[in-house]
Chain A
Amino acid sequence: MPILELRNIVKKYRVGKEVVTALNGVNLSVEEGEFLAILGTSGCGKTTLLNVAAGLEKPTRGEVVFRGVVLNKLKESQKVLFRRKYMGFIFQFNNLIPILTAQENVALPLLFDGVPPRERLIRAIRELDRLGIKDRRLHKPLEMSGGQQQRVSIARAFVHNPHIIFADELTGNLDSKTTHDIMRYLQQTIRERKQTFIMVTHDRDVAAYADRIIYMIDGKIASGEEGGGEQYA
């Protein structure tokens, strides 16, 4: 059974009198443990697709099915529980809380889940250690470089052992060396932990790390192909 299924998703935005169609009948099935990249030009609807798939946005039409549960039919309070338990998120930049230190930012999903402080901290530090920035754990976001901040974001996305991780242009602001380091880390980690990873990007090199690449044009999936994931393993 696929972990995530999008069935005939349509997403329209009303801007004044105009209606913008961001997603125009998307069908997609993601298998458990899959590393998927969605590739497309700017404005084709990648971010919208990711948000709808994660249940952060409601589709105008169609169904999002996560492990047999129709996500878009759930109440907000129920979706929150799904996010807490099963989902991790990485965004392009600036997605840390400025008053919290690196380790506190990483521990945030655990905090909302009611995990006690000590356990939270141990798990957060372990995650930061894996990403090689344990020594920065007491720094606030503004005291770190963009690459370090992004590593903290990644640590946060993984700290609660989610089943599926959504990433939107996670390497958008990074140089190519850092980008490749991070991509290799992600590839390894999700394979180790048997997690599913859905990533949106307009960078072919980044997409190449995925098991499967899907091309999007104007709110529709154009075609899919096997990624070059193996070569980096």
Chain B
Amino acid sequence: MKSYDLVTLANRNLWRRKGRTFLTVLGMIIGTTAIVVMLSLGIGLVESQKEQMAQWGSLNIIRVDQAWSFPGEPEENRQRRLTDEAIEEIKLIEGVLAVSPAYEVGGEAMLGRKIGYISLIGIDPGMMELFEFNLAHGRLLNEGDKFNVVAGSMVINSFYDPNMAPGYWEEPPQSDPLELLDKRISFTLMNQRQQKRIYGLNVVGVLSDKSMEHAWSVFGPLSEVKKMRDFTMQGMGSTPGDPGFPPGKDIVVPDMPRGDARAREEEQYSFALVRTEDVSVTRAISQELRDRGFNAYSLADSLEGIEEQARQIQAVLGGIGAITLFVAAIGITNTMVMSIYERTREIAIMKVVGASFADVRALFLAESSMIGMLGGAFGIGLSYFLSYLLNKYVGAMMSPGMGPESAPLQISLIPPWLVLFALIFSMGIGLLSGLYPANRAIRLDPITAMRHL
């Protein structure tokens, strides 16, 4: 039998009992819809969490902090120091695109009459683009910049007017980041000997990023910030029993002989950012760095837990869908068995006039897979509709942000692969459901069938 004859014949057999076929297809539609919608919820969950994480920072970037350890800690537990050598070593790890070492200093700052405390980070201006600094206004740093800086989008909120009533300070008004552009911040640093230096910083750009890494800091050229950092270290280690450095980091003290503490500390960067080729390798590289003794951390590290959790939710949701689909599959088998009872004589006739076992089996499998495929196709359509409703009504209620610009949460997401999977899967289910009936049809003895009907 030719395949087009098979399809025509199967199709006609299917529609001789329209009501019954429709009900069976309906079962498959419900089954497919259940599984697709359930899986789409799981996928939506993972995607929206990833999106949320992306707001905290990039999944392509690993932060390596300078080594800090307790005095007397055993050698093998000590973290690796973030020296130039270490930077070169990290650059050689496979999957690492670039490494940008950075210095960080913190100090009081004044913006007009407002005062605040800012953290100034020195980075290589050439690295800004690669490390996903996105501008809202102005420009990024250039090679020649000295006291030009780029401010994070939230930096403006670090400043407050000391003359304002205290009530304002408790709940600072949201300021426009643009306020900072082309302004001059005077930045005060103090070293261990209580000596002061005041720098004038020109804000040449304001970032748009909302991530914590970028939003709350001010970024300046690496070389200038290094000089500032070296200044803050002056006097360090000269007073034995000094509680430690830098300010803000308590408990920990650099683990080294007091005498050359400063010298050794000076050769370390404050931290380094490692840019990886792709999100998929970030976690592995982050682990590799920790294995080598670096104090590395990446947002991608916590992705695993989220993915694991999502997998579990997906398994539960998918399971519910699978049960529905299983019931639908039984429906197909039942329909096909009934159909064989009704068509006993026909099957016998076909066998007598030359239908082989393979032909009979093919006919019944074609009919059952067509039911499966029809159910799958319409089920996908229905899934899209339900997914749309879920996102529009339920997703909107669960929207993470409040503002008008925050998009409704995509709680249900149907990627193309899921469509393909559902189609093939439902056809496969149809095929499987037809196996038992098809074998019954094959075993049917034509002579007995001819005699008794």
Instruction: Tell me the complex Cα distance, A84–B354, Å.
Output: 5
- Is the CB of A51 closer than 8 A to any CB of chain B? yes
Query: A97 and B349: CB pair below 8 A?
Result: yes
Query: B13 and A99: CB pair below 8 A?
Result: yes
Q: Which residues of A contact B (CB under 8 A)?
A: 47, 51, 56-57, 76-77, 80, 83-84, 89, 91, 94-100, 108-109, 111-114, 116-117, 156, 160
Number of interface residues of B (CB under 8 A): 24
- Is the CB of B453 closer than 8 A to any CB of chain A? yes
- Is the CB of B252 closer than 8 A to any CB of chain A? no
Query: A80 and B13: CB pair below 8 A?
Result: no
B interface secondary structure, majority: helix
Q: Mark B428-453, 1 if CB is under 8 A from A, else 0.
A: 00000000000000000011001101
| B2 contact set on A, CB distance < 8 A | 111, 114, 116
Nearest CB in chain B to that of A83: its residue: B354
Query: B446 and A56: CB pair below 8 A?
Result: yes
Query: A97 and B346: CB pair below 8 A?
Result: yes
In the complex, what's the smallest C-beta–C-beta distance from A94 to chain B, in angstroms? 7
Instruction: Tell me the complex Cα distance, A125–B273, Å.
Output: 82
Query: B1 and A112: CB pair below 8 A?
Result: yes
Query: A80 and B349: CB pair below 8 A?
Result: no
| B93 contact set on A, CB distance < 8 A | none
In the complex, what's the smallest C-beta–C-beta distance from B17 to chain A, in angstroms? 10
Given known contacts A99-B12, A111-B5, A114-B1, A89 and B447 CB-to-CB distance under 8 angstroms = no
Query: B350 and A91: CB pair below 8 A?
Result: no
Query: B13 and A94: CB pair below 8 A?
Result: no
Query: A112 and B356: CB pair below 8 A?
Result: yes
Q: Mark B329-362, 1 if CB is under 8 A from A, else 0.
A: 0000000000000000110011111111111000
Instruction: Tell me the complex Cα distance, A76–B447, Å.
Output: 14
| B5 contact set on A, CB distance < 8 A | 111, 117
Instruction: Tell me the complex Cα distance, A179–B350, Å.
Output: 26
Instruction: Tell me the complex Cα distance, A76–B348, Å.
Output: 14
Of B1, B352, B450, the residue contacting A111 (CB under 8 A) is: B1
- Is the CB of B18 closer than 8 A to any CB of chain A? no
| A76 contact set on B, CB distance < 8 A | 357
Nearest CB in chain B to that of A168: its residue: B450
Q: Which 3 A-B pairs have the closest CB atoms?
A: A84-B354, A112-B354, A80-B356
In the complex, what's the smallest C-beta–C-beta distance from A142 to chain B, in angstroms? 12
Query: A109 and B349: CB pair below 8 A?
Result: no
- Is the CB of B16 closer than 8 A to any CB of chain A? yes
